[in-house]
Structure 1
């Protein structure tokens, strides 16, 4: 929950207060001393979850992982689902409150965040316990595998309530569109919640067995191991992102004329990859490739990158070494995978007239063919200090004209389809204080990646991106 302004929007505050009141009503029967409240079960489970909330603060559990305790909290949901199986709805709702209120939250609007976290968990557990009871779930008379049905249904009910509430708070606090806020919420969380539901049922059965609550605690050991692995994964991912940002920033400092170009090429590469149905891991790799495709410019003399006026043939040959320089820089960075090949070959052309090796058609790595299209598209559409960017429609027409000879037609078609559904914002890569008025130089005569106040000729009938 993150408000854009200094104050939380009134709708978001009303949402939090309403959720808190609803949670209080759900938990009230347990607080009133309802005869079905099993305090001997409720208090240990509430205390156990509170301990679980503090566990991520330990350095071994990933204290510095992105998102802090909030990122690791779902790992301990089996404790809450065990409460949903062992306790009536009002008591189950009450069991989540101590841990949620005591858990770590971001400093901004901390009290509101704690109230929201406690309320959403209480409502979700109330619903989960109700569903478990309605389907005849009974820990004392559990018969496998039939006992899994109510437990799984309870976990899915919890998932659905949390997803609905989380989506609504995004709409209320961050003014997201409902489609964006709820899209994929249930699908992303259903799988983990199913695992949590089965583990929670196992905890509940052991809790009621002759072995007692102590035996149930042993199930937390694999969950703690999962938490530690989860934290390490996030820590490693954060390190990768920091590496990419540092390298991209170095290129932006080196070549001020194309500042921000790498990030935009990364976004366009993602659009193409998703349109082609590539999985998320490969899509992320292509994003890295787009961001770092011009990394080799670090090895090109700054005077050439910032030269005003046309390049000599010898100077152009020096600049055309930047894919090989970039590949040498990233050669030892294992997590980049096929992004390294994209960095080396993103200036190859389908007809074999590209560089550095003059590869033809399918010899060019697929990742490089994606980045080549994204690179040329952003070069044409972004405004530089020496010329204005072209309209998206004109840039796509030029890409289609060069498809087959310079670009892979499949990649061009994928970008065209993607941009029918996604807007592409106008980009400015450098200071506009001396930008010339729009001119009528044809697109094929522009050399978008080579700086300077005047258009530079490129090979006839092609989009040049040095």
Structure 2
């Protein structure tokens, strides 16, 4: 997202101004600046280490929320908010614009910590923390953590609506529930840091609480390395298909993109949208089992050749069924050429017998087939392809999926990122791919 929309820049500027207002009382505060400096250094150092190239992966921004929440439990609101600033401004950013992303992150954390600290103080939390009265300290801390999550969720929804153009009715969906459980655990660790900090054991003992977080960090790294290995396997399979069938190069990525648009329009949650995208990317991987002479044949296919190529969904399913995290994507690979009227292949399923993921991919596949140039015909305009899909809805395609694609394209247009030669093809925008199988395109 290098080209940030003007409204998103305005939104970030507004949040930054609000964060600065939270920090204005700092010169009048009488607080332990040594504690502020130590907590800020710990947060910045841990965050920097987590995002360094030594880690080998990119960690989420909330890896060291316990330090920020401990600051909210220990310090006045402006001082607690200041703890987040050095780490956020010095953090390693992978995408442009770097400065804007750092400012956004710093402003977001300042507001979240400031609100959490104010809520905690209003409920008498500092007194309970100072007395080490754990049962009573839990209540104000829990409400402060909830306020922290709520602020971050509200701000994240705003950036999704302004920068990522997510519809307003869906921009905030699921943000708070997804973040509440992990941040609650971070809040408990932050409360333990705060109580130990105020105890006779002091700051050094308090910071030892971070050791379990380092263990969870390591486990998180292992998970992401495994996931990265899976995704590398998927990329290798897709590249193999692209090399084997040059006419459909880039098609798999575009089908994945269109499938994701449909799934998002249907209101699926983010995890399922990702699985549907994988389904679209891998739907034609079974073509690796089809002879190249058939895939690249310019003339009409003979009945025998058609029967061979119609085996590719089963070949593909055999290839991906051992990849456990794909979930329902495996069913989509197997059934994306089934038709609603039962005349599809490989098993002739009809209506609701066809998995929902397969019905999504079928529409995305056919759409990209029609809007991509092939050896036997030119690409159709997007409007003509959508009209054809609507004409076949109810017989070949699920009308819900067709309607969802029409709405999504009306809102966002068709501009997938492309990674292949299709960037030169009329009707196919540069980088990202989907594609239908050859018999479907010929039909």
1:422 corresponds to 2:408: yes
Partner of 1:315: 305
Partner of 1:63: 55
Confirm or deny: 8 A CA contact 1:268 1:415 kept in the other structure: no
Kindly provide the CA deviation profile for residues 430-466 of structure 1, in whole angstroms up to 9, marking residues without a partner as x: 86589xxxxxxxxxxxxx74389xx85xxxxxxx5xx
Aligned-CA RMSD value: 4.1
CA apart distance, 1:398: 0.7
Listed as ranges, the gaps of 5+ residues in structure 1 are 435-447, 457-463
Alignment of 1:200-211 (within 5 A): 200-211=190-201
Partner of 1:94: 82
CA apart distance, 1:400: 1.2
**Could you say what secondary structure the match of 1:75 adopts?**
coil
Alignment of 1:180-195 (within 5 A): 182-184=171-173, 185-195=175-185
1:236 corresponds to 2:226: yes
Confirm or deny: 8 A CA contact 2:306 2:439 kept in the other structure: no
CA apart distance, 1:131: 1.6
Alignment of 1:258-269 (within 5 A): 258-269=248-259
TM-score, normalised with respect to structure 2: 0.77
Partner of 2:294: 304
CA apart distance, 1:284: 3.2
Whole-angstrom distance in 2 between the partners of 1:426 and 1:51: 42
* Cα 1:317–1:116 shift into 2, 3 Å: closer
Higher helix fraction (1 or 2): 2
Confirm or deny: 8 A CA contact 1:244 1:292 kept in the other structure: yes
Match of 1:398 among 388, 392, 409: 392
CA apart distance, 1:132: 1.2
CA apart distance, 1:207: 1.9
Whole-angstrom distance in 2 between the partners of 1:53 and 1:366: 41
1:79 corresponds to 2:67: yes
Partner of 2:281: 291
1:132 corresponds to 2:120: yes
1:179 corresponds to 2:179: no
* Cα 1:91–1:367 shift into 2, 3 Å: closer
* Cα 1:5–1:231 shift into 2, 3 Å: same
Kindly provide the CA deviation profile for residues 153-198 of structure 1, in whole angstroms up to 9, marking residues without a partner as x: 32233334444555556677x4746838953444543443333223
CA apart distance, 1:378: 4.2
**Could you say what secondary structure the match of 1:307 adopts?**
coil
Confirm or deny: 8 A CA contact 1:85 1:132 kept in the other structure: yes
CA apart distance, 1:271: 5.7
Kindly provide the CA deviation profile for residues 326-374 of structure 1, in whole angstroms up to 9, marking residues without a partner as x: 3343354443344334333433456765444556777766654554454
CA apart distance, 1:14: 4.9
CA apart distance, 1:65: 1.1
Listed as ranges, the gaps of 5+ residues in structure 2 are 417-421, 428-435
* Cα 1:311–1:113 shift into 2, 3 Å: closer
Match of 1:104 among 80, 92, 95: 92
Partner of 1:46: 40
TM-score, normalised with respect to structure 1: 0.73
Name which of structure 1's ranges 358-367 and 241-250 shifts more when overlaid on structure 2. Answer: 358-367
* Cα 1:120–1:321 shift into 2, 3 Å: closer
Confirm or deny: 8 A CA contact 1:383 1:427 kept in the other structure: no
* Cα 1:246–1:8 shift into 2, 3 Å: farther
